[in-house]
Structure 1
């Protein structure tokens, strides 16, 4: 865009010396001349790249200098090749007017923004279509470039064809818009540039802008539609280089600017905004260069495994509570945020310029509609505008008021006013933060009835949000270095507030029926919104963010204007915002002790209502696909059980009454097969009747009856279970040691993920095990072939016809990038969570068949598993087991705890995974089982 200053150019490449070397080799002639010339060009190219790599290492943020240097290097190589081909390969003494050729750089090469492995995009322009000499020269130049290993994007067109195609193709028009003369016949280049402006661009400005914005929006959608996705695409992602380039294209198309600096002269940027533009652009260009250098290819995705490497190359260091990679990514997202703010102001200005032009034409050219007043502001065309340049300096509380008025009245904020807000955000100091009116306005905005999410995002990008709530500034653009969270902390928080608003408006009733009903029953809706704002406010401080966040809430809530009771409730919600999800996903909800412990912490219906609402929006705001019907069902079950306990002070029915009621319901569900219940009901103990829902018991009873008639004594049945968003896999077989880990292994071999497991043994010695499974995308298996594959794999594993260990080791990891994270396995034991069982929780890196290996370790340790609950958080797995000793009691001996822990840690370790993968690669072994 703006030509970069490239110091000491000859250290990169000395074209004169290269040209002399090539001329000398060409003069020698013979068949060896061309390979020698290619070798000379390649040596010059490699030496230039090595020099630029050295400079990048020395100045790791010098994006403009390095990308400009790579463009300069290619320029000199292309010029040397062109001169050699014209002088030595296809020389002509008297060329005709048709034997002329211009070489134009287009694309990133045209902008002089080339990363080490960027494509070389060249347009060859000649006067006429049929020019044999031009075609020969172009072909020879291309062959040299290809021999150098360059990836060349090229076009060869006459001037007339170029203009004609530019009219009908937006991509070609954009490429020509940023073209740059490289070598050859300059008048041809000048003719194309002049005709492009006169014959293509003039009068089509509005169409170009509209098409570019449609193109941009489609690209954003492909890339995640947020500039805060945690694995951003530096080139094409929202807030990335392509967004900056789009601003330049639009400015150049409309105002004919030659370099980005001229956007200031035409009033689209202030000087401060242009400096922000260049700073963000330079940083992102540097990041892109590092990505290319590390990978040795044109890589633009800042994936987890590359983030650490780029952070190290760019000299980011660890700080207390924040790692080097988190600091690097926070800085990256701050630049992306700046791009977003610039884009908003820039496009709004363009829109206003178009609107002014429209207003000057026609019968109403002299008519100027009057703006209406709103609390001193001007409202015109759906936009809220400050009446004067010193409006916010007169009363800095207006920096909050302008956003509150926009949200309450469904207005946009005028771009010039947004500029003023960003400029004057520094006026928000301690006295403004303490001002009761400012805080009341902020609370009204936060809990707004229209669209608080969008307006809070404007407020954040203008720099006002973080200044008014400094604790929020600390999580601004802060990424969470894991595969679970899709967004930065501030973006996650703002999305959670938006989801809360949508739930309150009834827009998400199908996915969140309980939250949609409860939000209208809470005593204070303000509590819900403030809790959503503060639940992650203390992330990145080096301690438990829930506890630290509770302290922040106790300070901020009174400032916002919440009373003592509301403050206490918000602080409790922030401290306990993970309680409900941890209980629902990691504990056995049919164990009465689980409900008792949860209710003992919650203590009131009001707390429970708020906690369910906060848990729902927190999970859903993590990212696409994180919320599913299985999680909704578990949270609903926990909520219903806890609500009953809180309202009545006890469970509605005693144990025997619950079993009797369940049996009656199952008998009704079985209909004409109710006789099976009379035959087999007594073989199942009370824990089975309490643990399983009526519909699953009915299926189990029917399958149990069939299994008794099967001589093989193994029955595997799969069917979709829509209520839980999963597939139910039921295995009925004669009980034997190791049955659980073999079933788990068979399910894993079929490509399924186990999300819940209940293991029962009848009084007659039969195992009745129910598993809920999903595909790798969190959806149920439903195709008959898929169900048959699971049934076959489990049957094979139980019959010992497959060597589980090597077969499972050969399966690919569900998340190959999980290796980028340091996840050390941790085992915890809890004898208080259940009256009957020892609860063991294993946290480890997620990998193929982890549950199978952990189950095998428990079996080898002499433990009996009664239920398993599986939760995944991106690269981490959290598997919980309810177990007893073989004799039936809890684990109590310290030595036993140590031995079990050692076995589980070994099963979950990376070293063990590597051993198993090696065994898998070597093929099945008879001793593998």
Structure 2
């Protein structure tokens, strides 16, 4: 059988011959990656060579050439890549002949359905266009002669490279700005769940930009690993094209398993991890390169003035001491001339801490030297541990220094456990970062909270290690506890401090999960937290870690409302640890607004509503901005309130981000005590404006008296908008949580968020003939955790069998 190599020697000049050879090449499993891309380029070259030769002869054109530019010029043809072609001519042939030649080349390409980016220009026209359009100039830097007269191609390449180098002081800042604007639009490839392999920061566009910088001779990118990173991204794009059959650069979630299988990678997570590693290499190279470009341009601009001031002599670079063996030079942290990498094991940490504390980038050449430092003894000396803590406490500058150390493998030398979380994706839209970057960002957030705790060093280390168990089987908090203890001991903490760090890692989700999913007025809630935390000093550390973790997760993970719940819980636990009496077992009103509504509901006998925006507290001189809308509902206790209220919100297309339902006791005018239901909702309009409170109240009254059939209305809406293919959510899980309360039975619902979800839960509980004592809704991204405290109608907790039955009824209602 004829192989692709054989076809590239004398290809069939007809479209069918080229198409057949191309198809065979794409399905040849033994050859992929760079060899296949190069073979694809050769095959295409040979086909176009035959097309152009015949067309030029028929058109009678001399002095013309067919030139590949852009990705095709680099011989990087993916299965669905565009063909970027330039028909270059010397102007000696008439326009009609050149047009006829172009048609005879372009139309066969179009007939095959191949995407074609084409132009027809003289050398002078090409140079002029490149001078006006940066993207055209970048494409011409990779110009490669295919067929025809080689003289115009050679002249163009020489001229374009000369223009690029001469114009570098102007063009490179333009290219830098272009890359920044693209990054703003597309995000960072190394953190995206559905990244654009080409356009996102750290993708193929940035890798090409680094080639352009190198061609300017003004600066060069770090070469270590860059070629491998570029090749890895191209390989993934090839597999993506073959899997989807489309010219796409976006690695969508539904395509990742197929792409991983095509590349022989274990699963989609490992695929993303390899993509992230490649993107991180490109991003780091970009950071270093553009910093060097800007340094060189600043130096060039300042040189004439300095020479004039110094009478023509060349000034020696200034070196400002930062720490022992570390100095600042040219806006970077570098090593002093007396520094001994081979003898000073703590030098890498001291240099990192000094750079971060000074807000300076650390020179990549210095980091490479530091990689040769001898290992630290175990346990680390106190001085090394202090430098490590100083690095973690430096705030935002820590990130750049950490990334520089990551690029040279220094982090995993210091903390071998880091390898498991490095570049590990988090398949949850709530998370902004990969696991490793999230840990660093948590330390950054924690650095702003160190004044609140008595042991900031333990807070910072726990922040860095709190998710170190991710990637191991089971609950990551449980798996991370022994790892954190081991790391803490290795870096020089004593056993007591290491136990505190381990406890913080084990329970880093305890406060936020308890505050948002449990009834804080139930004494068992406070007791369970106090037993786990054990001391006031650990509680204050856990409080700060909780906030830092949430802030570093993403905007959906923290809010004023969540913060107030956690603070409330911490206050109650602190009182319990101090031996103070627990709070009253029955809930009470907690604000003047709630009390006003409750009294009005008791007076009127019907629902009373309040709807208003809740602003975040202002930051420095900024004005507060509303981040959600608080809806308060009060009405005398009666059956069916939860499903009715939740259903009305769903009908009005209000998304419930958080909710709390409590029964409070109020004295009546006759001196008796009556129960009033207080529902506090944090809601947002799915689209459009918010409904008026009067409309919500009117519909709630109708829902309660049965004149508004919410279930039918919601069913009609769901039928009108069927779920799209590929968006099937995991099934809901409903479980009884034993031992969480002595006053009620706790049932926890975990499910994909959906309109009317809370309404269906409420109806299932109504049909089970249980009383809802309190309910707590926590929404994070597409997932919700709803916790309900239920009792028998007489107020007693359910038996084990009754609780299991109720949980099954709720789960069946959600599955149905």
Do they fold alike, i.e. is TM over 0.5? yes
Shift of the alpha carbon at 1:532?
0.5
SS of 2:613's equivalent? strand
Report SS of the residue matched to 1:835: coil
Per the alignment, residue 326 of structure 1 pairs with 269
- The Cα shift of 1:851 comes to 2.3
- What is the DSSP-based 3-state SS (H/G/I as helix, E as strand, rest coil) of the residue aligned with 2:88? strand
Which of 483, 497, 513 matches 1:582? Answer: 513
Q: Distance in 1 between matches of 2:581 and 2:204?
A: 60
- 1:498 equivalent in alignment to 2:444: yes
RMSD of aligned alpha carbons:
3.7
Any conservation in 1 of the 2:743–2:796 contact (CA below 8 Å)?
Answer: yes
Partners in 1 of 2:695 and 2:134 — Cα distance?
Answer: 49
Out of 132, 151, 158, the residue aligned to residue 187 of structure 1 is 151
Match for residue 251 of structure 2 among 297, 302, 308: 302
CA distance, structure 2, for counterparts of residue 389 and residue 141 of structure 1: 65
Match of 2:629 in 1: 727
Tell me the alpha carbon deviations over residues 746-805 of structure 1, each in whole angstroms, 9 at most, x when there is no partner: 32233222221416599999985624143378xxx9945576886677677663355235
Question: Does the aligned pair in 1 maintain the 2:229–2:281 contact within 8 Å?
Answer: yes
Offset of residue 538 of structure 1: 1.8
* Structure 1 residues 414 and 368, CA gap change in structure 2 (3 angstroms): farther
Report if the CA contact (8 A) 1:396-1:432 is conserved: no
CA drift of 1:651 comes to: 4.2
* Structure 1 equivalent of residue 313 of structure 2: 366
Q: Which residue of 1 aligns with 2:554?
A: 623
Map of 2:12 onto structure 1? 18
Residue 312 (1) aligns with residue 280 (2) = no
**Aligned pair 1:444/2:444, yes or no?**
no
1:826 pairs, out of 730, 733, 758, with 733
Q: Structure 2: how far apart are the matches of 1:592 and 1:432? A: 45
3-state SS in 2 of match to 1:18? coil
Number of equivalences: 789
| Equivalent pair of 1:406/1:455 in contact (CA under 8 Å) | yes
- Distance, in Å, in 2 between the alignment partners of 1:619 and 1:431 is 34
The equivalent residue for 1:753 is: 655
Contact 1:720 1:782 in 2 (8 A): no
User: 1:906 aligns to what?
Assistant: 812
Aligned to 1:550: 481
Q: Any idea what the Cα deviations from partners look like across 1:371-417, whole Å, max 9, x if unmatched?
A: 43743445422323335799423444323332123234444323322
Structure 2 unmatched runs, 5+: 617-625
> Aligned with 2:248: secondary structure?
coil
Give the direction of change, closer, same or farther, for the CA distance of 1:138–1:769 in structure 2 (3 Å limit).
farther
Provide the secondary structure at the position in 2 that maps to 1:589.
Answer: coil
Unaligned runs of 5+ in 1: 1-6, 23-40, 256-265, 318-323, 505-518, 656-685, 913-929
Quick check: 1:699 aligned with 2:597?
yes
C-alpha separation between the residues in 2 aligned to 1:366 and 1:873?
63
Determine the C-alpha separation between the residues in 1 that align with 2:59 and 2:269.
61
When residues 278 and 884 of structure 1 are mapped into structure 2, their CA distance, relative to the original with a 3 A threshold, is same
Q: Comparing 832-841 with 348-357, which one deviates more in the overlay?
A: 348-357
In the TM superposition, residue 843 of structure 1 has moved relative to its aligned partner by 1.7
- In structure 2, how many angstroms separate the alpha carbons of the residues matched to 1:576 and 1:534? 12
Residue pair 1:106, 1:175 contacting (<8 A) in 2 also: yes
Name the structure with the higher helix share. Answer: 1
Contact 1:86 1:137 in 2 (8 A): yes
What residue number does 1:516 align with? none
Query: Cα distance, 1:537 vs. partner?
Result: 1.4
Contact in 2 for aligned 1:280/1:335 (Cα 8 Å): yes
Question: Structure 1 residue 176: deviation in Å?
Answer: 1.5
Query: TM-score, length-normalised on structure 2?
Result: 0.86
Match of 2:679 in 1: 770
- What are the equivalent positions in structure 2 for 1:131-170 lying under 5 Å apart? 131-170=95-134
Q: Secondary structure at the match of 2:778?
A: strand
1:807 is aligned to: 716
Quote the offset at 1:499 in angstroms: 1.5
Residues 437 and 648 (structure 1), Cα distance of their counterparts in 2 relative to 1, 3 Å cut = closer
Q: Tell me if structure 2 keeps the 8 A contact 1:818–1:845.
A: no
Secondary structure of the corresponding residue to residue 632 of structure 1: helix
| Alignment correspondent of 1:38 | none
Pair 1:714–1:536, CA change in 2 (3 A)? closer
Distance 1:156 1:590, change over 3 A: farther
Which residue matches 1:669?
none
In the TM superposition, what are the counterparts of 1:470-869 in structure 2 within 5 Å? 470-501=416-447, 503-504=448-449, 519-647=450-578, 649-651=580-582, 687=587, 690-691=588-589, 693-702=591-600, 718-722=611-615, 725-730=627-632, 738-754=640-656, 755-758=658-661, 760=663, 768=677, 770-775=679-684, 783=689, 785=691, 799-801=707-709, 803-810=712-719, 819=728, 823-869=730-776
CA distance in 2 between counterparts of 1:311 and 1:214 reads 34
Distance 1:468 1:718 in 2: 53
* Other structure's SS at 2:500 match: helix
Structure 2 residue aligned with 1:456: 402
Go from structure 1 to structure 2 and tell me whether the alpha carbon gap of 1:832 and 1:351 turns closer, same or farther (over 3 Å shift): same
Partner residue of 1:402? 351
Aligned partners of 2:557 and 2:780 also within 8 Å = no
Is 1:53 matched up with 2:2? Answer: no
Deviation at 1:310, TM superposition (A): 2.1
TM-score with structure 1 length normalisation?
0.76
Residue 213 of structure 1, CA deviation: 1.8
Q: Is the 8 A contact 2:385 2:491 kept in 1?
A: yes
